[in-house]
A = this chain, B = another copy of it.
Amino acid sequence: MKHKEKQTVVVVGAGFGGLQLVKHLNHTDYNIILIDKTNHHLFQPLLYQVAMSALSPADISAPIRTILKNSKNLEVIMGEVQAIDRKTKSLYVNGASIDYDTLVIAAGAKHAYFGHDEWEAHAPGLKTLADALAIRGKMLISFEEAESNAFTGSDTPPVRFVVVGGGPTGVELAGALAEIARKTLRHDFKTIDTSKTEIILIEGADRLLTAYDEPLNQKALKDLTALGVKVRLNTIVTNIDETGVYIGDEKIETRNVIWAAGNTASPVIASLETETDRAGRAVVNPDCTLPDDPEVFVIGDAALFTEKGKPLPGIAPVAMQQGRYVAKLLKRRLKGKNTPPFKYFNRGSMATIGRARAVFQAGNIKISGFFAWFLWVFIHIMYLIGFRNRYRVMAEWMWYYLSYKPGARLITTDPYRKPF
């Protein structure tokens, strides 16, 4: 053998972390195998805009093979990882076995129902394009049904939406729902008054956006209330069925529940047989490896990375920085060099609240209102690199915000064939 055989790095997940990792290992002496459940990378921070019919799927996602078309040392596999065997250094996908020298799990998180998986059928979460299109269809059909019932003289309770969870996703969904109902759809329907739509946001804690500091929690509450959202803090959902949401003895009648209350790490983590926290995230070393395995890395939402005694948040910048860090570490490893621990550079986190309002926090810097929103737009568009046309998305999206006219108000699921 003239050359040492190339090492194989298997990466599970083509989200923000996995994609950065693979991009930064391009043209290196590693064979890379990238496995994802879908055929596309998804710009998840804007997924709620697809659910709320302001953007189309192709605006916020791009095929993985297209994004990485210039990577020569890469094989992309669409499939679900069924099991990982760290002893034999192999994993099982699509019924076959793949060997690795190094494994990077960047599989993200899925919604968690706190032991009530039966709620999922009535309260879908928002993680995939299929989720977003299903929620969009359900939302639009609710208004269509109400209009039809009102016109033909049937009993018509007002359309009511319940969003469970007051984190960034819940706040963004509730704000967008309020604006769609009160502004966008208002002139579409002749018989019902969509501005009477009731939007209820339920949060278990005593404030919204618990990851943010005061006064941003109060600001979010004030902004949502101004949009007409009924925010219920200190409120715990005890049951959800096809007719409504239960809070102890109280029942809120609705068939429109969106779940934004909790995440759990990808089930792939369980098959690593390693230490996890309550959210299923793998505890990792300061270099993102497992405590007992220098050849297995976990990055992004699937990892519990502790810095100064606090876990890093499950947001895109953490995953992206960890992806780049692991790429750097692996490149240095090829040269026999060590790499200092990962350090998160906090550029801040942000959430948008309806049209032209947002909150932004980076350390002690806290901004809210229009400027925070403008910053939010700018940063999000900046990172849409590689998508069909980020300038077009920006244009459409600004247009939407200014005109209240979503350009993608289509039900593409088939309500008569596959009811949800």
Query: Footprint of B on A, CB under 8 Å?
Result: 37-40, 56-58, 61-63, 65-66, 69, 74-80, 93-98, 128-131, 133, 140-141, 144-145, 147-149, 151-154, 187-191, 388, 392, 405, 407-414, 416-418
- Provide a sorted-by-A list of 24 A–B residue pairs whose CB atoms are within 8 angstroms: A37-B416, A39-B141, A39-B144, A39-B409, A56-B57, A57-B410, A57-B412, A58-B408, A58-B410, A61-B410, A62-B410, A63-B410, A65-B188, A66-B405, A76-B147, A78-B145, A80-B416, A94-B145, A96-B148, A128-B414, A129-B412, A130-B414, A388-B407, A418-B418
A294 to chain B: closest CB distance in Å?
26
Is the beta-carbon distance between B392 and A140 smaller than 8 angstroms? no
CA distance A297 to B66 in the complex (A): 50
Is the beta-carbon distance between A144 and B78 smaller than 8 angstroms? yes
A372 to chain B: closest CB distance in Å?
29
Query: In this complex, what residue of B is CB-closest to A191?
Result: B75
In the assembly, how many copies of this chain are there?
2
Contacts of A74 in B (CB 8 A): 190
Is the beta-carbon distance between B411 and A69 smaller than 8 angstroms? no
Query: In this complex, what residue of B is CB-closest to A414?
Result: B130
CA distance A78 to B410 in the complex (A): 12
Contacts of A131 in B (CB 8 A): 414
Query: In this complex, what residue of B is CB-closest to A147?
Result: B77
Contacts of A57 in B (CB 8 A): 56, 410, 412
Contacts of A58 in B (CB 8 A): 56, 407-408, 410
Contacts of A63 in B (CB 8 A): 188, 409-410
Is the beta-carbon distance between A77 and B151 smaller than 8 angstroms? yes
Query: In this complex, what residue of B is CB-closest to A92?
Result: B152
